[in-house]
Chain A
Amino acid sequence: MKFRKADPLMRDLRRVLPSDRVRVAPLERSIMGRDASIFEGGRAGPVCFPISTEEVQGCVDAARRHGRAVVPRGAGTGLAGGAVPLEEPVVVVATKMNRLLSVDAEQRVAWVQPGMINLDLSRALAPFGLHFAPDPSSQQVCSLGGNVGTNAGGPHCLALGVTSAHVLAAEVVLMSGESVVLGDAGGWTPGLDLRGAYVGSEGMLGVTTAIAVRLTRNPPAVETLLLAFDSVDAAAQTVSAVIADGIVPAAIEMMDKNIIWAVENFVGAGFPTDAAAVVIVEVDGLPGGVAAEADRVAELAVERGGSVRRATDDEERALIWKGRKSAFGAIAQIKPNYYLHDTVVPRTRLAEVMNQVYEIVDEHDLQVMNVFHAGDGNLHPLLLYDGREPGIMDRVHAAGSAIIEASLAVGGVLSGEHGIGIEKRDFMPLMFSEADLDAQARLRRAFDPEEMANPGKVLPTGASCADVKALDNIPEGVWG
């Protein structure tokens, strides 16, 4: 599809935004064709960089008048292809709307623009002794609008909950062009929880233009333990035992042998390379409870044959977390590409499903590393591969499907934090009945009757599989 200056859509968009903030060059559009997922070569139409709610409304209006879909985009770190544009929609990028609008330290609420980077917010809050609890591993780059879009989680969401529990209200531009505030920054108003329905909607209900986030107080005391085990089973059983003992740590992360080895080579965090698995447990809160819980966690680990290292100071704690957070970097030394999966299983079934994952990966002759949020049963098997090896993607996908099926079979779910996007859209019928999916489509239609917001994602009825495969092509033609 070509776009000329005289194109009516372009004319309307340029009425709303200065021309340097509506980009149409083929290269600029093709760059917007992907996010951090494995889906390449989506097709973007005009790429808009609004800086205010009014400008977003203008972009949405223009798109609607010309029958164009709208794809909201944050930092483009999504792993499910949520921000990958299909069929040349207007792409609305929030990165220039990156300001902290207000902080009310007394009420523990901040209003932020959607393009603000997650970590920038917590940095800005440090002087108040507050932070934004969800801390995805991509927090240094992902946007808060994207976090709302995917209902992002992170290691420290075990006790405090994922993004939804930390969003009080969102200002949203609907596909009608109207701007509406969902939820209440003050805490509560009567009515349906529209805010709750909106969080995690992957850009399919509207464009977020401002967010009221709940701020969390920094804990007065923290204890971090590094537990090492001879078997994955013992590690998984310890995780279950901790939960069953009535302890809800701030974080429980698990890493298996392969990743421990890679991380040690990469950053030298002092992880025991002879262990089959390590578990990082962090408890925080008031000193009495923290000390008691840390002792109890250590006891439970030792009972299951584990060895315990307790961080003696902030430096050692930082080193342990550095090991956890360097996982992605460590992988690159082994294979150039990775496919990060994301399913959840009941916490009591962790060991069983992990063993299945190892078997599946063996069957498909692939390599896997596991580094994941064990505390809430959120598996993240990383399949390593070299994309240039012929036929490799078929094996990667086959293994991925088998892992999803194994997770669902024990009462698990499709995704714990990355979302459905394009990636798992066609797996939705495995988890949901026709009636379930129909109900989700109704929610969609109530917000967006014409289905113009980010079409082709999440709900399997939209674009067919053929469209996704067609994503390999890059857009052709000269736009000007």
Chain B
Amino acid sequence: MTAKKSLGIDTEELASCVSCGLCLPHCPTFRVTGEEWASPRGRISAMRQVQDHGLAVDESFLASMDSCVQCRGCEPACPSGVPFGSMMEATQAELARRRRVDWRQWGFWVLGHRWLLNLLSRSLAVVQRLRLVPSKRLGLPKIPLVQERLRATGNDVWLFTGCVMDAWQRSTHASVKRVVESAGAGVALPGPGAACCGALSLHAGLEDHAHALAARTMKALEGSAPILVDSAGCGAVLKEYGKHMGTPEAVAFSERVMDVHEWLAAQADQLPSVGERRRDVTVAVHDPCHLRHVQRAHQPVADVLSRYATVVTLDDEGLCCGAGGAYAAMQPELAASIRDRKLEAINRSGADIVASANPGCTIHLANAGVVVRHPLEIVDEVIDYDG
């Protein structure tokens, strides 16, 4: 263990940036602002000023850190392998300690309690219909009033259902489950313990809360069956439990986690053929950051999807859409400018619909009027289950 200083960033990690700037164009906030403080290199430099040179944590420091989407687009772009995500998580954890009470703590606590989330969501759904909450401005999706009920069909694989997604987009899980089953696997569903992966808490620096959620999730998904995840953000965190908790159980757990598309791509020969219902739609695949930059497993989405639809890739090298968990709600202006770039790329691609394997991106993009579906919803509609 190396010594930790004021921000608690590992000194080795902090020293690893050589300031080359090659990450800059891959950072969504730099792309839209052109300002160094909103870039990975600038943020690292800011962390160094505070941790190594004793500069005060002031408003400009907070602005630099809080404007980061934590998309980690900078990581694969960095030739020096700088672990930016981990440095940012450490910084956010320290900032959260300094801020002491953070309203987000309460908000994210709800995510860990499915009954409460469902209750709140249902009331939100009612309120939305009464137009009491301006959904567009808050970036909230239209929440379904009545949820479909999912039933387990075996125990070959787990399907991780998560928190927000389960409450707001359960029909997606249903589609995913059907597609997975069509490849011949029985699907097990976790109990209420695995309610939330802890991603949002982790990104906000609420480490303890995140670790508590992780412990519960691991308990609820025991055994050795692969754990399939259909939300890129959750998958990224589940895959990093091992790194975060450092225990052998956590490491073993993380090794079982797969993005559902990764698993499907590996079973390609088991997948059903294209049915008559195949539509001639052109689908643009939006690579969620947590799939592309963190899990580095975005290719399987296109691989699976292209068996069932015409797939086009966007020409922006997987630049973030600006959703970033709670980011769109916290930094609405930056999030919207970042999204505008993405919308331009979508327009250029000429696609009819956009496929996104992350609920946050789906909501964020849909709010701008784009038709966004989960890739497996599209597949689900095209598969001829009887044929």
Chain A residues closer than 8 Å to B130, beta-carbon distance: none
User: How long is the Cα–Cα vector from A115 to B21 in the complex, in angstroms?
Assistant: 15
Q: Contacts A34-B45, A36-B20 given: A474-B34 contact, CB under 8 Å?
A: no
Chain A residues closer than 8 Å to B25, beta-carbon distance: 117, 119, 140-141
Counting CB contacts under 8 A, is A343 at the interface?
no
Chain B positions 335-371 with a Cβ under 8 Å from a chain A Cβ: none
User: How long is the Cα–Cα vector from A34 to B48 in the complex, in angstroms?
Assistant: 13
Chain B positions 14-55 with a Cβ under 8 Å from a chain A Cβ: 15-16, 18-22, 24-25, 33-37, 41-42, 45-46, 49, 53, 55
Chain A residues closer than 8 Å to B78, beta-carbon distance: 329
CB distance from A36 to the nearest CB of B (A): 5
Counting CB contacts under 8 A, is A72 at the interface?
no
User: In the complex the two chains form, is B15's CB within 8 Å of A75's CB?
Assistant: no
Q: Which of B58-66, B137-145, B153-161, B305-313 contacts A (4 or more CB under 8 A)?
A: B58-66
Partner of A474, one of B20, B41, B53, B59: B53
User: In the complex the two chains form, is A336's CB within 8 Å of B37's CB?
Assistant: no
Q: Contacts A77-B20, A141-B22 given: A336-B15 contact, CB under 8 Å?
A: yes
Sort chain A's interface into a size bin. Answer: 35 or more
Chain A positions 317-358 with a Cβ under 8 Å from a chain B Cβ: 326, 328-333, 336-338
Chain A residues closer than 8 Å to B21, beta-carbon distance: 35-36, 75-77, 138, 141-142
Chain B residues closer than 8 Å to A332, beta-carbon distance: 16, 18, 79-81
User: In the complex the two chains form, is A95's CB within 8 Å of B55's CB?
Assistant: no
Chain A residues closer than 8 Å to B37, beta-carbon distance: 23, 27-28, 31
Complex interface bits, B246-277 against A, C-beta within 8 A gives 1, otherwise 0: 00000000000000000000000000000000
Chain A residues closer than 8 Å to B20, beta-carbon distance: 36, 77, 138, 328
Task: Select from chain A the residue with minimum beta-carbon distance to B80.
Answer: A332
Chain A residues closer than 8 Å to B22, beta-carbon distance: 77, 138, 140-141, 328
User: In the complex the two chains form, is A32's CB within 8 Å of B36's CB?
Assistant: yes
CB distance from B273 to the nearest CB of A (A): 29
User: In the complex the two chains form, is A30's CB within 8 Å of B45's CB?
Assistant: yes
User: In the complex the two chains form, is B19's CB within 8 Å of A34's CB?
Assistant: yes
Counting CB contacts under 8 A, is A26 at the interface?
yes
User: In the complex the two chains form, is B79's CB within 8 Å of A329's CB?
Assistant: yes
User: In the complex the two chains form, is A387's CB within 8 Å of B15's CB?
Assistant: yes
Partner of B42, one of A31, A140, A328: A31
Counting CB contacts under 8 A, is A93 at the interface?
yes
Chain A residues closer than 8 Å to B64, beta-carbon distance: 27
User: How long is the Cα–Cα vector from A77 to B30 in the complex, in angstroms?
Assistant: 14
User: How long is the Cα–Cα vector from A336 to B41 in the complex, in angstroms?
Assistant: 16
Chain A residues closer than 8 Å to B36, beta-carbon distance: 28, 31-32, 76, 93
CB distance from A133 to the nearest CB of B (A): 20
Task: Select from chain B the residue with minimum beta-carbon distance to A325.
Answer: B79
Q: Contacts A34-B19, A75-B21, A117-B25 given: A474-B45 contact, CB under 8 Å?
A: no
User: How long is the Cα–Cα vector from A12 to B59 in the complex, in angstroms?
Assistant: 24
Chain A residues closer than 8 Å to B53, beta-carbon distance: 30, 474
User: How long is the Cα–Cα vector from A38 to B315 in the complex, in angstroms?
Assistant: 34
Residue from A32, A34, A95 with most neighbouring chain B CB atoms (10 Å): A95
Q: Contacts A26-B55, A140-B25, A388-B15 given: A31-B34 contact, CB under 8 Å?
A: no
User: How long is the Cα–Cα vector from A26 to B18 in the complex, in angstroms?
Assistant: 22
B interface residues, how many (CB within 8 angstroms): 31
User: In the complex the two chains form, is B55's CB within 8 Å of A49's CB?
Assistant: no
CB distance from B300 to the nearest CB of A (A): 20
User: How long is the Cα–Cα vector from A332 to B20 in the complex, in angstroms?
Assistant: 12
Counting CB contacts under 8 A, is A96 at the interface?
yes
CB distance from B281 to the nearest CB of A (A): 25
Chain A residues closer than 8 Å to B35, beta-carbon distance: 23, 49, 93, 95
Partner of A326, one of B24, B49, B79, B81: B79
Partner of B24, one of A49, A141, A474: A141
Task: Select from chain A the residue with minimum beta-carbon distance to B23.
Answer: A141
Q: Give the secondary structure class of A's interface.
A: loop
Chain A positions 443-480 with a Cβ under 8 Å from a chain B Cβ: 474
User: In the complex the two chains form, is B34's CB within 8 Å of A27's CB?
Assistant: no
Chain A positions 1-52 with a Cβ under 8 Å from a chain B Cβ: 23, 25-28, 30-32, 34-36, 49
CB distance from B350 to the nearest CB of A (A): 14
CB distance from A174 to the nearest CB of B (A): 24
User: In the complex the two chains form, is A27's CB within 8 Å of B60's CB?
Assistant: yes
CB distance from A97 to the nearest CB of B (A): 9
Q: Contacts A36-B20, A76-B36 given: A31-B45 contact, CB under 8 Å?
A: yes
Counting CB contacts under 8 A, is A164 at the interface?
no
Chain B residues closer than 8 Å to A93, beta-carbon distance: 34-36
Q: Contacts A34-B45, A76-B36 given: A27-B19 contact, CB under 8 Å?
A: no
Chain A positions 297-334 with a Cβ under 8 Å from a chain B Cβ: 326, 328-333
Task: Select from chain A the residue with minimum beta-carbon distance to B76.
Answer: A329
Chain B residues closer than 8 Å to A115, beta-carbon distance: 34
Partner of A28, one of B34, B41, B60, B81: B60
Partner of A328, one of B16, B41, B79: B79
Chain B residues closer than 8 Å to A75, beta-carbon distance: 21, 24
Task: Select from chain B the residue with minimum beta-carbon distance to A37.
Answer: B19
Residue from B34, B42, B64, B81 with most neighbouring chain A CB atoms (10 Å): B34
Task: Select from chain A the residue with minimum beta-carbon distance to B18.
Answer: A337
User: How long is the Cα–Cα vector from A333 to B168 in the complex, in angstroms?
Assistant: 44
User: In the complex the two chains form, is B49's CB within 8 Å of A96's CB?
Assistant: no
CB distance from A39 to the nearest CB of B (A): 10
Chain A positions 89-120 with a Cβ under 8 Å from a chain B Cβ: 93, 95-96, 98, 115, 117, 119
Task: Select from chain B the residue with minimum beta-carbon distance to A387.
Answer: B15
Chain B residues closer than 8 Å to A36, beta-carbon distance: 18-21
CB distance from A184 to the nearest CB of B (A): 30
CB distance from A425 to the nearest CB of B (A): 20
User: In the complex the two chains form, is A95's CB within 8 Å of B34's CB?
Assistant: yes
User: In the complex the two chains form, is B58's CB within 8 Å of A25's CB?
Assistant: yes
CB distance from A332 to the nearest CB of B (A): 4
User: How long is the Cα–Cα vector from A332 to B61 in the complex, in angstroms?
Assistant: 28
Chain B residues closer than 8 Å to A27, beta-carbon distance: 37, 46, 49, 55, 58, 60-61, 64
Chain A residues closer than 8 Å to B58, beta-carbon distance: 25-27
CB distance from A450 to the nearest CB of B (A): 28
User: How long is the Cα–Cα vector from A223 to B146 in the complex, in angstroms?
Assistant: 62
User: How long is the Cα–Cα vector from A76 to B294 in the complex, in angstroms?
Assistant: 27
Chain A residues closer than 8 Å to B315, beta-carbon distance: 123
User: How long is the Cα–Cα vector from A119 to B315 in the complex, in angstroms?
Assistant: 13
Complex interface bits, A370-400 against B, C-beta within 8 A gives 1, otherwise 0: 0000000000000000011000000000000
User: In the complex the two chains form, is A25's CB within 8 Å of B60's CB?
Assistant: yes
CB distance from B83 to the nearest CB of A (A): 12
Chain B residues closer than 8 Å to A388, beta-carbon distance: 15
User: In the complex the two chains form, is A474's CB within 8 Å of B79's CB?
Assistant: no
Chain A residues closer than 8 Å to B61, beta-carbon distance: 27
Complex interface bits, A74-88 against B, C-beta within 8 A gives 1, otherwise 0: 011100000000000
Task: Select from chain A the residue with minimum beta-carbon distance to B39.
Answer: A31
Chain B positions 193-226 with a Cβ under 8 Å from a chain A Cβ: none
CB distance from B26 to the nearest CB of A (A): 8
Chain B residues closer than 8 Å to A117, beta-carbon distance: 25
User: How long is the Cα–Cα vector from A258 to B187 in the complex, in angstroms?
Assistant: 50
CB distance from A322 to the nearest CB of B (A): 12
User: In the complex the two chains form, is A49's CB within 8 Å of B59's CB?
Assistant: no
Q: Told that A77-B21, A141-B24, A328-B79 touch, could you supply 5 new A-B pairs with CB distance under 8 A? A: A27-B64, A28-B60, A34-B19, A34-B45, A76-B21
Q: List 22 A-B contacts (CB under 8 A).
A: A23-B35, A26-B60, A27-B58, A30-B49, A30-B53, A31-B36, A31-B49, A36-B18, A36-B19, A49-B35, A77-B22, A93-B35, A95-B34, A95-B35, A326-B79, A328-B22, A329-B78, A330-B79, A332-B80, A332-B81, A336-B80, A388-B15
Q: Rank and list the top 10 A-B pairs by shortest CB-CB distance, nearest first.
A: A95-B34, A329-B79, A25-B60, A332-B80, A328-B79, A77-B21, A96-B34, A27-B60, A31-B42, A31-B45
